[in-house]
A = this chain, B = another copy of it.
Amino acid sequence: MSQVTIKDIEVLNCEYGKNTIKFLRLHREGKKHFVKEVEVCAHLRLTSPQEYLEGNNSLVIPTDTIKNIVLVLAKKNGIPSLEQFAIDICNHFMTTFCQVAYVKTYVQEVPWQRLHEDGVPHIHSFICVPDGIRFCEAEQCRNGPLVVFAGIKDLKLMKTTQSGFEGFYKNEHTTLPERHDRILCGELFCKWSYGECKDFDFNCIWKKIRECILEAFAGPPDCGEYSPSYQKTINSIQMLVLSRVSQVQVIEAVLNNTFYNVVDMKNLGLDNDKEVLVPVEAPYGSCTCTLGRKKFFEAQGQMMRDERKCQFGLAAAQGN
């Protein structure tokens, strides 16, 4: 077929940036040390795609410069919270470079915790405890609002009872038996957006949301709470967060669940009363839901709703 030229095509998107900018920000108060180790991604869309289409680099801020700026901001501002740092990055690019049409930044924390010896906190020693990774995102279009997301990922939870799955749709391809007592286990991903962020204590809010997630997943410590499906558990988590944390406007949750198969030991002459179970890691079920406050969208309008749909709900789009 004939040659395609630039006038035949339309640029739907183009952006670039630096990924996995890893660094440690060390803060000292006398002999006491505080660490924040993060991994940052920062992406830009420029006002013209000329570097893609024409090989004209004159507007391109090199990814090496992007990295330098991230490090300089960390040096100057510290990292009071991941979210504030992500906001600082967005602000810097928007105010410094008029050729930047859009900036997006992602910040993820390396989960260092202060070591304790017999309950006494150590002044400069830390241990890595990855029981759920904190992250955030901030993005801004020129002349648009700064949108801030926060989240937790790689949070693996299990409850060994108070979970079932019954009353589902059945046809000739159904072989799954109904179950009213099974293990519910999965890896949770939650991401939420804030409304206009004025004077938020992001660290405090994040901690509160993490507690909501654990509480809604597990139910009361002395008895738990029955989960009729992974889906309903997701919803319980979301509803509790929305009830307790007014700053959250939209919340997405994805639960990738590991099924535990009770080993049939009849052939081996034993009766296995759900004592020995084998995890099935592939294939695995995945469910996701994104909820928003009606009031928020009524105030913001349909465009915001569409934007949020595109910003969330990517679980299936990512494929794996």
Contact = CB atoms under 8 A, between A and B. Distances in A.
Interface in A121-151: 121-132, 135, 137
Contact of A13 (B19, B74, B290): B290
A291 B64 contact: no
B135 A319 contact: yes
A269 B4 CA distance: 47
Given A24-B260, A59-B169, A39 B124 contact: no
11 contacts: A4-B243, A12-B309, A16-B230, A24-B260, A61-B168, A71-B268, A115-B157, A120-B222, A123-B224, A127-B156, A130-B130
Q: How many copies of this chain sit in the oligomeric assembly?
A: 4
A29 interface: no
A287 B137 CA distance: 18
Interface residues of A, number: 171
Given A13-B309, A19-B283, A62-B176, A33 B161 contact: yes
Contacts of A57: 165-169, 228-229
A195 interface: no
Contacts of A59: 169
A72 B292 CA distance: 38
A31 interface: yes
A75 interface: yes
Contacts of A285: 16-19, 63
Interface string A259-281: 01001010111101011111101
A294 B231 contact: no
B18 A291 contact: no
A290 B229 contact: no
A121 B317 contact: no
B232 A13 contact: no
Contact of A125 (B8, B60, B158, B317): B158
B279 A24 contact: yes
A308 B21 CA distance: 30
